[in-house]
Chain A
Amino acid sequence: MNRAKKKDRFMTGVFYAIGWLMLAFLLYLTFTIIFDGLKGFSPDFLVAAGNGIFNQFFNTLYLVFLSLLVSVPIGIGAGVYLAEYAKEGKFLTMLEVSIESLSSLPSIVIGLFGYLAFIMWTGMSWNIVAGALTISILSIPLITTETNNAIRALPIEYKEGSLGLGATKSETIRKVLISAAMPQILTGVIMAAGRGFGEAAALLYTSGQSTYINWHNFWKITSPTSPLNPFRSGETLSLHIWVMRTEGALNPKATQIANFTSAVLVVLALLFTLVTRRISDKMRKRNNGGN
């Protein structure tokens, strides 16, 4: 065997090792986090008061839902613009740079902007809407990019067929292109939701680090303790980990609670990945079938 071949074998081994190491580390990471979370678990972590994280869980869902209400229409709209209307030029470059900047700006900087714009300017105290709007700044570029890519990836026949049938451009976009691209757009939306679930730095100064909910007031939306009141302070799951390290550290169970919260977030992350995988797999199959 000559030197080149020996070297080839050796390097192949190195790549194998690195590849499998990173997979093994991921397994280790997820299992230890979930295991630690369950180790210190006690049933009162599930309730909506005291040590429980149910309120935080609800806040997270609610906040992500509100943020999607804002970011989905804007994100899809801008994605359609990029895919169907945009022409080469200064504005397009500016839009592209803006989208890239928004998606890679430090989330704490976006959080500070949200704090400035939605808290200091409006003169309100920390609230869920401010947090949701801040999160949508983070998720709009994700949805925009996915929508743009999805529409561009569609076979040209879709569009030509619809236009040929006498539909206008806007009808074609709404009735044919968007629905055909929906699976991938949905992937973007789920990714955006996942980002919202995990985000903490952007919420530090916008959504508040505490929460008080009276579940009997569920439908009294104007009541400051109603779970549905969007203008109450609402701490989310990931923020809860941060709070358990700082202001909540007095709680003797702080570590266990944070461990459990981490485990919940990791399970959610796995779930999100699984769902987006499923959707994109289906899409690939469908596309392959079509060809």
Chain B
Amino acid sequence: MDKVVQKAIASDKRWRAVYIACGLLIVALTLLMGAFLLYQGSQTFIKAHHSIWEFLFTSDWAPLDKTGLFGGKVGAAVYIVGSLETCLLALVICLPFAIGSAVYMTEISPKIGEKYFRPATEIYVSIPSVVYGWFGMTKLVPLIKNIFHPAMGGYSVLAASIVLAIMIFPTITTVSADAIKSVPMSYREGAYGLGATRWQVIGKVVLPAASGGILTGVILGLARAIGEALAVAMVIGKTRSFAANLLSPTSNLTSAIAADMGNTAQGGEYNLALWTMALLLFIISIVLIVLIHKLANGKKDK
């Protein structure tokens, strides 16, 4: 009998070790990835002796493309600004629709919301990003060209932002809808009891109460937008200049990586600068995640 128990305890321990190992593996993978990118991405500054200032804040981009040859210029500001402006514009376009839909599917028609809108957002999520890019390239870009007649054709910041807005829409909507749902019923009842209209309840009580959750959704959406590569690359036009207006093309971090990583010589300045861009993207998304974590913890403390 003792043996059976011992065996059971041993097996219990073994399984526990297996589960812990799985958890450890995930942490190790993330750390490894960070270390890797940090090593590869920092070479621009260590080996090629460029300053971080030059990389982030100047726009003179002329890195040399030969293994072990340094001395070009690696000002990536055009790409960084391109990434930021497309993401922010996407957010501006998306936010009213996302919050509006979230309110509609939770507060106004919850039954229809559950039956049609939730599956609809899931479909939005599950459509691959290249398909969005392809749709943007074959439908949206010609549309913009025909409406506004920009000098450079329809490839533009606007096109990229709209494609991104469609892609982050489901993320923000779902997270916001969950946040709105979790606002306690008593809040609403209290407000209605005071004679408030539905809009007053939504605008003054529900949305403020759900604002933390909505913010989380916005940050998640931002994380998705900043990292999207191929869909944006297909519609942004890839000009290495700051966009003069919403209708002019520009470039961003992810499309530069996607377009040039394969052409550049390994260990060359150009290649290293692209790795630095990847590192920058990594850092941005970690910062966003930490932000979300802080937000969630803050809520817990209250």
A–B interface present (Cβ within 8 A):
yes
Contact surface of A with B, Cβ cutoff 8 Å: 4-5, 7-8, 10-12, 14-16, 18-19, 21-23, 26, 29-30, 32-33, 36, 73-78, 80-82, 84-86, 91, 93-102, 104-110, 112-113, 116-117, 137, 140-141, 144, 168-171, 173-174, 191, 194, 197-201, 204-205, 238-239, 241-242, 245, 255, 258-259, 262, 265-266, 269-270, 272-273, 276-277
Judged by a CB distance under 8 angstroms, whether B120 is at the interface is yes
Q: Provided the pairs A265-B128, A277-B119 are in contact, do residues A98 and B97 lie with their beta carbons within 8 angstroms? A: no
Determine the main DSSP class of A at the interface with B. Answer: helix
Picked from A10, A18, A191, the residue with its CB within 8 Å of the CB of B100 is A18
Q: Provided the pairs A18-B97, A23-B117, A32-B139 are in contact, do residues A85 and B289 lie with their beta carbons within 8 angstroms? A: no
Picked from A26, A75, A112, the residue with its CB within 8 Å of the CB of B124 is A26
By the criterion CB–CB under 8 Å, are B120 and A99 in contact?
no
Picked from A5, A21, A109, the residue with its CB within 8 Å of the CB of B197 is A5
Q: Provided the pairs A22-B169, A81-B19 are in contact, do residues A168 and B11 lie with their beta carbons within 8 angstroms? A: yes
Closest beta carbon of chain A to B27's beta carbon, Å: 5
By the criterion CB–CB under 8 Å, are A198 and B126 in contact?
yes
Please, which residues of chain A bring their CB within 8 A of the CB of B198?
8, 11-12
By the criterion CB–CB under 8 Å, are B229 and A108 in contact?
yes
Measured between alpha carbons, how far is A168 from B8 in the docked complex, in Å?
7
Closest beta carbon of chain A to B237's beta carbon, Å: 14
By the criterion CB–CB under 8 Å, are A100 and B36 in contact?
no
Instruction: How many A-B residue pairs have C-beta atoms within 8 angstroms? Tell me.
Output: 253
Contact surface of B with A, Cβ cutoff 8 Å: 8-9, 11-12, 14-16, 18-23, 25-27, 29-33, 36-37, 40, 96-97, 100-101, 103-105, 107-109, 113, 116-117, 119-120, 122-124, 126-131, 133-135, 137-139, 166, 169, 173, 197-200, 202-203, 220, 223-224, 226-230, 234, 254, 257-258, 261-262, 275, 278, 281-282, 285-286, 288-290, 292-293
Measured between alpha carbons, how far is A215 from B100 in the docked complex, in Å?
52
